[in-house]
Structure 1
Amino acid sequence: MAIVKEFKEFAMRGNVVDLAVGVIIGAAFGKIVTSLVTDIIMPPLGFVVGRIDFKDLKYVIKPAVGKIPETAVNYGLFINNVIDFLIVAFCIFLMVKGINSLKKQEEAAPAAPAAPTKEEILLTDIRDILAKQK
């Protein structure tokens, strides 16, 4: 029973819920970035480097024979995935940098109270002396 209680406390903590939301949003964001790379960035890049579609780049080890498919190293798909990863990593870097700058602004906001002036110190001393005399 104790382990069930501990698990419930763990699962209901804010960090776990935040992590779950982050994973779900990250998966959706990954699809968007994959589409950005595959559908928008790679076609012009392939055109610039000689009308090459990167996803078709491969090194055929053994050609197809009859119903047996070819054996190939699809390095073009790897190039697409590397570019995809770099874009996702850069976007996450920008998000973390933005969040950190907001946190720094929040931390800098509370200023220390100003030190009392000489007059305030003297008035406080006078008040304390009068309070002792009563």
Structure 2
Amino acid sequence: MGMISEFKEFIARGNVIDLAVGVVIGAAFGKIVTALVDKIIMPPIGLLVGGVDFAKWGWTLREATVDATGKEVPAVIIGFGEFFNTLIQFVIVAFAIFLLVKAVNRLYKKQAPPPAATPEDVLLLREIRDALNK
């Protein structure tokens, strides 16, 4: 029974729940960024460079063929266009996280607790020290 109660305490601490919420929100944010890059950012960029869809860019190492049995052998392609889209998505997510961390840090700086008042015994000891120095 001890392990179960420890596990309940671990879950109830809040860190695990906060982490789970962060993962879920992060996954949803990733989908939003993917849609933003694929549907909004990349089409105008493709239009500017001549109507090219970057997602379809690739380097064909071997064309698709049909083997002796009549079965189609797919082409071997290095798809650097998809990599380019993913790289742009990463930069957007990293920048958004940077802005979020910057905002949180700014909030914590403003909410710094005021310096605590010096206790009376410390003040008395300082007076004694100063009197002895004279």
Report the TM-score range of the alignment, normalised by the length of the smaller protein: 0.7 to 0.9
* CA offsets 1:64-120 (integer angstroms, 9 cap, x no match): 11322111110000000000011001001101110110111111xx434789xxxxx
Deviation of 1:19 after TM superposition, in Å, equals: 0.8
SS in 1 for 2:73: coil
In structure 1, what is the Cα distance between the partners aligned to 2:117 and 2:105? 28
Quick one: structure 1 residues 56 and 114, their matched pair in 2 at CA, closer, same or farther if it must change by over 3 Å?
same
Structure 1: stretches of 5+ with no match in the other structure? 116-134
Query: Is the aligned partner of 1:47 residue 2:47?
Result: yes
Determine if the alignment matches structure 1 residue 65 to structure 2 residue 58: no
Matched, 1:97 2:102: yes
- Number of aligned residue pairs: give it: 113
Q: Percent identity?
A: 52
Superposed counterparts of 1:8-47, under 5 Å? 8-47=8-47
Q: CA separation in 1, counterparts of 2:111 and 2:45?
A: 42
Change in Cα spacing, 1:111 to 1:13, as seen in structure 2 (3 Å) is closer
Mapped to 1, the partners of 2:95 and 2:73 lie a distance apart of 41
Residue 9 of structure 1, CA deviation? 1.4
Provide structure 2 residue ranges, at least 5 long, that are not aligned to the other structure. Answer: 67-71, 119-134
The code of the aligned residue for 1:87 comes to I
Distance in 2 (alpha carbons) for counterparts of 1:103 and 1:6? 32
Q: CA deviation at 1:50?
A: 2.6
Q: CA deviation at 1:7?
A: 1.9
For residue 7 of structure 2, what is the aligned residue in structure 1? 7
Q: Which position in structure 1 is the counterpart of 2:122?
A: none
- Over residues 21-58 of structure 1, what are the superposed CA-to-partner deviations in whole Å (9 max), with x where a residue is unaligned? 11111111110000000000011111222322100101
Determine whether 1:111 maps to 2:94: no
Answer with 1 or 2: which has the greater Rg: 1
